[in-house]
Amino acid sequence: MTSSYGLQGRAALVTGATRGIGLAVARQLAAAGALVCVTARDAEDVRRTAAELGGVGAAGSVADAEHLRALVELTVREFGRLDVVVNNAATNQPYGPLMDVDPQAWREAFTINVEAPLRLVQSAWRAWMRQHGGAVVNVCTEGAAHVGPHVGAYGTSKAALLHLTRQLAGELAPKVRVNSVSPGLVRTEMARFVWEPGEEQVAAGLPLGRIGEPEDVARAVVWLASDAAEWVTGADLLVDGGTRVRAAHDSGTYAIHDRLRTGFLRRG
C-alpha cells in the first residue's frame, strides 16, 4: 500500500481477524497506520494476532452481545477513539435444504451474520461515531445475489446484511459511511470445501483466471474504510474475479455453483 489514505492514527475494530480475509484486513489496516483491535473465538489466535499487529484484542463470539460491547469499550479505552468497524466474522452454517433446517441453527446464523454487525455498529455509534464520525465495512458475499442448493441460510442472511448496509448508510449519514464488500471465491478455511477439490477447474471458469486471495478483498475493505472513499456510502464493492460477468466470458463451464450442487459439506 503506497498511501495511508488518512488511516494513520485511526482506530479500527475487525471481527474474525485471526485468519483468512479478516486477518488480511487487520494487517493492511495496521500497515496503513491504523491502531487495530481484533476479535475471534480462539483466545490464543487473538493474542498472537494482536501481538503481531501491535494492537489489542479480546476473544469471544460475535454472537455474544456483551462481547461486542466490551470490544468497543476496549478499543476506545486503549486507543481513545473508534473510527473504523469491519464486520467480517460469519458462519456458513447451517448447510442443507431449508426444509430440513433446524430453527435454532437458522437463528444462530442470523445472530452472527446480521444481528452482530448491527449491534457492533450500535455500540460504536454510541461510544464514538455519532459524535466524531467513522466508517463501517460489512463483508457480504457475491453469492447473496443468487439462490443455490444447500446455502439457503447463509445466502439469506448475507442478503439481509447487504440490505442492512444500505439502510444504515442512509440512517447514519453524513457522520458515518457504511459500505460492503462482496467477495467471490477466496482461498480461506471457510471456503476450502469449494476450492480445494479442484482449484484449477474453478479458476478456469473465472474471467480473471484465478480464485481470490484474502489480500484481494482486504485492499477493497481498506479503501472503503479510508478517506479515499469519502464520498462513497451504501455501496457494495464486488471483488469476485469477474464471477458476475462470467456469462459473457468464453471459458467453458463455470464450476463454483456446480461444485456446490454436488453437495460438499463443511462442518464447524
Ligand X SMILES: NC(=O)c1ccc[n+]([C@@H]2O[C@H](COP(=O)([O-])OP(=O)(O)OC[C@H]3O[C@@H](n4cnc5c(N)ncnc54)[C@H](OP(=O)(O)O)[C@@H]3O)[C@@H](O)[C@H]2O)c1
Contact status: 183 vs ligand X (CB under 6 A): yes
Whether residue 49 contacts residue 23, with contact meaning beta carbons closer than 8 Å, is answered with yes
Q: Which stretch binds ligand X (CB under 6 A): 162-170, 187-195, 202-210, 218-226?
A: 187-195
Contact residue for ligand X among 4, 75, 141, 233 (CB under 6 A): 141
Of 190 and 228, nearer to ligand X (C-beta) is 190
Q: Which stretch binds ligand X (CB under 6 A): 28-36, 83-91, 120-128, 200-208?
A: 83-91
Which cell numbers in the block locate residue 40?
475471534
How does DSSP classify residue 113? I
Contact status: 179 vs ligand X (CB under 6 A): no
How near is the Cβ of 19 to ligand X at its closest, in Å?
A: 5
User: Per-residue string for binding with ligand X, 5-34, x by CB under 6 A?
Assistant: ----------xxxxxxxx------------
Whether residue 162 contacts residue 236, with contact meaning beta carbons closer than 8 Å, is answered with yes
How near is the Cβ of 50 to ligand X at its closest, in Å?
A: 12
Of 16 and 134, nearer to ligand X (C-beta) is 16
Contact status: 61 vs ligand X (CB under 6 A): yes
Contact residue for ligand X among 11, 63, 129, 206 (CB under 6 A): 63
Output the CA–CA distances (angstroms, integers) from residue 105 to 56, 101, 130, in the order listed: 31, 7, 34
Contact status: 45 vs ligand X (CB under 6 A): yes
Instruction: Enumerate the β-bridge partners of residue 236.
Output: 180
CA 142 to chain centre: 12
CA 225, 72, 187, 4 torsion-angle sign: positive
How near is the Cβ of 92 to ligand X at its closest, in Å?
A: 6
DSSP 186-224: BSSSTTHHHHGGGHHHHHHTSTTSS-B-HHHHHHHHHHH
Contact status: 185 vs ligand X (CB under 6 A): yes
> Which residue from 162, 182, 180, 161 is spatially nearest to 233, judged by alpha carbons?
180
Instruction: Please provide the size of the chain in residues.
Output: 268
Cα–Cα distance measured from residue 88 to residue 70, given in angstroms and rounded to the nearest whole number: 17
User: Per-residue string for binding with ligand X, 93-112, x by CB under 6 A?
Assistant: -------------------x
Whether residue 16 contacts residue 80, with contact meaning beta carbons closer than 8 Å, is answered with no
How near is the Cβ of 142 to ligand X at its closest, in Å?
A: 6
Q: 95 catalytic, yes or no?
A: no
φ and ψ at residue 230, rounded to 5 degrees: -65, -15
Binding site for ligand X (CB under 6 A): 15-22, 39-42, 45, 61-63, 88-91, 112, 139, 141, 183, 185-186, 188-191
**Active site residues per annotation:** 154
